[in-house]
Amino acid sequence: MKIAILGAGNVGSALGTRWARLGHTVTFGVRDPHAGKVQALLIAAGGNASATAVAGAATGAEVVALATSWAGAADALSQAGDLSGKVLIDCTNPFVDGALALGHTSSGAERVAGWAPEARVVKAFNTTGSGNMLDADYQGTRPTMFLCGDDAGAKTVTAGLAQELGFEPCDCGPLTVARYLEPMAGLWVQLAYREGLGKDIAFKLLRR
C-alpha cells in the first residue's frame, strides 16, 4: 500500500520503518526532509521509504498515519492535502504536559475526525510504545492492537497493517471507544515511566 506518515518521532519512525521493510511504499511527511535525522531514518527504512514536506504529503497515499505530537496534529492534517476517502489512522494521544488534555465525553480521535471530516478515521497504534511497533514479539505471544472507528473497511485495512507488525488486532467498535483507548495509553505511560516498569510492556486481550 501507499502509506503517508505524518511525523517522524518515535511512533512515526517505527511504523514507517517496519511498513517500508515489509514492502509498502512509505512517505514520511516532516518539517525538514533534508535533516540528518530524517536521512538516517530513510537509510534504516530502506528503498521503499522517502521523505517530503508535510504540505501535500498525503497526496497519492491510500493510508495516512497521523503520528505527530498532539500539539501538531491539527496543523499537520490541514497541510497534508486532500484526505477524501483515505484511511486516516490516528496514532496520537491528547497528552499535554504528561496528562490527557481531554476525555470521558470526547477523545482525541473524535477531534481528529472533526479536523478531517472527509477521511475514514481509525484510532490505532496509540495504546503501546514505539519499541513494540519495531518488535512486537513477547516470547512468542502477540500483544493486542486495540482499534476503533466508524468505517468497517478502514478498520480492516488498519487491522491488516497491525497484523503485519506482529500484533493481534482487536476491533473495539465505533470511534467513540477512543474514550477508552486513550486512557489505556495513559496507563501504558504511567506503568512504563512513572512506575518504572520500562518500555517492554504491552497489553494483551486474553480469550478462552
Identify which range of 31-39, 56-64, 83-91, 101-109 contacts a copy of itself by CB under 8 A.
101-109
The contact mask relative to a copy of itself for 172-201 (x = CB under 8 A, - = no) is: xx---x-xxx-xx-xx--xx--xx-x--xx
The residues that bridge with 26 in the sheet, in sequence order, are: 3, 49
Identify which range of 54-62, 68-76, 115-123, 170-178 contacts a copy of itself by CB under 8 A.
170-178
Minimum distance from residue 115 beta carbon to a copy of itself (Å): 20
3-state secondary structure 12-71: HHHHHHHHHHCCCEEEEEECCCCCHHHHHHHHHHCCCEEEEECCCCCCCCCEEEECCCHH
In the complex with a copy of itself, which residue's Cβ is closer, 119 or 148?
Answer: 148
In the complex with a copy of itself, which residue's Cβ is closer, 28 or 188?
Answer: 188
Residue with cell 517492554: 200
CA dist 201 and 197 (Å) reads 7
Do 30 and 56 meet the contact criterion of CB atoms below 8 Å apart? Answer: no
Q: Are strands 168-171 and 144-149 parallel, antiparallel or unpaired?
A: parallel
Residue with cell 519499541: 131
Q: Does position 103 bind a copy of itself by CB under 8 A?
A: yes
Q: For residue 62, count CB atoms less than 10 angstroms from its CB and return exposed for 0-12, middle for 13-18, buried for 19 or more.
A: middle
In the complex with a copy of itself, which residue's Cβ is closer, 9 or 198?
Answer: 198
DSSP SS3 for 177: helix
Q: Does position 162 bind a copy of itself by CB under 8 A?
A: no
Residue of 34, 36, 97, 207 that binds a copy of itself (CB under 8 A): 207
Minimum distance from residue 105 beta carbon to a copy of itself (Å): 8
Interacting residues with a copy of itself between 126 and 155 (CB under 8 A): 137-139, 141, 143, 146
**Which residues here bind a copy of itself, judged by CB under 8 A?**
100, 102-105, 137-139, 141, 143, 146, 170-173, 177, 179-181, 183-184, 186-187, 190-191, 194-195, 197, 200-208
